[in-house]
């Protein structure tokens, strides 16, 4: 079952949260890297150490933000697709992509992480770095990520310690059928 029934009032609340997230990231897009760039880079570096990338891999970055992952993966994967719900943050990502040397094909799309516009089992690697705290139903988001990931693909999900207790984060991952591998990036 891809998307379970949700009552109209719960749907309204989900979209209220998503609209708040969109407004927030649209407002801070120009200064996002100053605010969060260093923290995100540490997570990216540690995440990349934990996986095996291949030049033919098709990679999805869900909640790609300003595209910080792209500069670290350029040339290590064949195709990188970044999706984000904020058009403002995607504009910042486009600027970064234009400045890369084009070793990897990078595609940006505006999309909702709960309704990814891809067929099932497309991606070799999927990243969701610091995404789940912005999602109304993290379990739904993870099930959607699992849907588009190939069997036995590597899925990297990070969370904010101030938002998730470690036990809750592990439970959400397990309920989505994922086998957690913990990396502490600080």
Cα separation, 60 vs 113, in Å, equals 11
Q: In what order do the strands lie in the sheet with 123-128?
A: 105-110, 79-84, 58-62, 123-128, 149-157
Assess if residue 181 is contained within a domain.
Answer: no
Is there a domain that residue 29 lies in?
Answer: yes
Q: What is the CATH number of the domain that holds 138?
A: 3.40.50.150
Residue 2 placed within a domain? no
In a domain, 145, yes or no: yes
Domain hosting 138: range is: 8-175
Name which of 13-27, 40-54, 168-182 the model is least confident about: 168-182
Q: What is the mean pLDDT of the chain?
A: 91
Q: The whole model's pTM is what?
A: 0.91
Query: What are the pLDDT digits (tens) for 120-163?
Result: 999 999 999 999 999 999 999 999 999 999 999 999 998 887 78
Q: How many domains is the chain partitioned into structurally?
A: 1
């Amino acid at each position: 079952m891809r998307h379970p029934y949700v009552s109209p009032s719960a749907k309204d609340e989900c979209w209220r949260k998503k609209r708040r997230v969109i407004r927030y990231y649209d407002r801070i897009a120009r200064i996002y890297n100053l605010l969060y760039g260093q923290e995100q880079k540490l997570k990216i570096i540690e995440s990349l150490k934990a996986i095996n990338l291949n030049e033919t891999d098709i990679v999805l970055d869900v909640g790609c933000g300003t595209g910080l992952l792209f500069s670290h993966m350029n040339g290590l994967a064949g195709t990188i697709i970044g999706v984000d719900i904020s058009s403002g943050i995607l504009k910042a990502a486009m600027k970064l992509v234009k400045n890369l040397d084009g070793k990897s094909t990078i595609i940006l799309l505006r999309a909702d992480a709960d309704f990814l516009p891809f067929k099932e089992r497309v991606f070799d690697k999927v990243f969701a770095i610091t995404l789940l705290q912005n999602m109304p139903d993290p379990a739904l988001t993870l099930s959607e990520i699992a849907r588009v990931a190939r069997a036995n693909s590597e899925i990297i999900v990070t969370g904010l310690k101030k938002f998730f207790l470690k036990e809750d984060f592990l439970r959400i991952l397990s309920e989505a059928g994922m086998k957690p591998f913990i990396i502490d990036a600080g």
